[in-house]
Structure formats: C-alpha cells, structure tokens
Amino acid sequence: MTLLQIMSDKHSGDVTLRTTDDAVIAAELGKRGIMFERWPLPAELSGATSAEDLLAEYADRIAALDTDGRFKFIDVARIHPDESDPEWPAKAVAARTKFLDEHRHAEDEVRFFAAGQGCFYLHLGDEVLATVCTAGDLVSVPAGTLHWFDMGTQPEFVAVRFFEEQDGWIGDFTGDKISAGFPTLDELLAA
C-alpha cells in the first residue's frame, strides 16, 4: 500500500496528513516539487522478472521520462531474501542501514518500484514526508533534497534506477541523526 505521512521535523508525533490516496499523494508531493506517478503493472510481471524483460516492458515509459536524454545509466536494483544464504540476515541489515541516515545526492534520485516496497523520508524545511513506495510507484527526489531511505527489516524490492552519472547514487551524508526520531517503514505500515 502506497502511503504518505507528513510530520513535523521537530516531533514525529505531530502528523498533519496520513493518506493512501494516490491522487492526494501525487498532489501533496507535487506541491513540494516531488514527482510521483503510478505506472501500470502487467499481470506477468513479478519480482523474478529479469532486468532485461523489466526494462523492455517499460521501454516506452522510460523513454517518455527521459525525453531530454539526461539519464545515461538506467539499471535494475533487486533485493530479495535468500533463506539458503546463512549470511542473508547480515546482508539485509547492511543493505538497510546504508541509507538510513540523512543525506542528499548531486542529481535527482529517480526510482520506479516494480515489486516490493521502500520508504523515502523527505526532509523539506520544517516537514518530513514519509513516502512509502510500492509496486507501480515512480518517485523523483530532486537533487539536493535532504532525505533518507528505509527498506524495512525484511528488505525486498525490485526498482528501476535512473542516473545522470555513473556515480549518481553516492550520498552526501549530513551527519544529522534526525532519522532516529521517526517511525521506521515497518512501524508506518503497522500503524
């Protein structure tokens, strides 16, 4: 379930909006310069769909998003639990904690979730917008936007990533531990 929860950046309990309405989510994010769209999910699409097939399935939408040709690198990131791997729990923790602290990027962070879920926490002025993205959601976080990302305690998603530069995913961490005072992805979904 796609979800937007807007909170004060001083106190996470001060919630000014909580909604699962896609139109409201798109409007609220749009007012703040964040692009949000819902792309259709073909019935045959699954978390096991190959990267090549996924990119082919969405080739027209990807081309429409990249009309100016700024995205030089488009790939598919996949995190899937591997119960047969005894190191999976440690790998899951490492993957999750990598972007839990507030950071920003030098270019727009554009993601299309083809499967699974993750939450972008956008720190915009005196607000934090927890944006839970699920299968079918496309979000574009503008360059320089303070944010963090939580993939939950059981990370699982498939996402198409759009980059202008090969190292566009590198985060510039602020050192602010603001994220520790906000509900995790798991807590947002349980509420």
- Whole-number Å distance between alpha carbons of 20 and 5: 9
pLDDT of residue 168: 65
Q: Any idea where the domains of the chain sit in the sequence?
A: 3-190
Instruction: Find all residues with CB under 8 Å of 23, minimum gap 6, and list them.
Output: none
pLDDT in tens, 164-174: 988 767 889 99
Domain 3-190: CATH class, spelled out: mainly beta
pLDDT in tens, 139-178: 999 999 999 999 999 999 999 999 998 876 788 999 999 9
pLDDT of residue 89: 87
**74-89 per-residue burial string, b: 16 or more CB within 10 A, e: under 16:** bebebbeeeeeeeeee
Query: Taking every pair of C-alpha atoms in the chain, what is the biggest distance, in angstroms?
Result: 45
pLDDT in tens, 59-112: 999 999 999 999 999 999 999 888 888 998 898 888 899 899 999 999 999 999
Give mean pLDDT, residues 124-128. 98
Query: Which of 141, 169, 168, 179 lies closest to 32 in space, CA to CA?
Result: 141
Give this prediction's pTM: 0.94
* Average of per-residue pLDDT values in the chain: 94
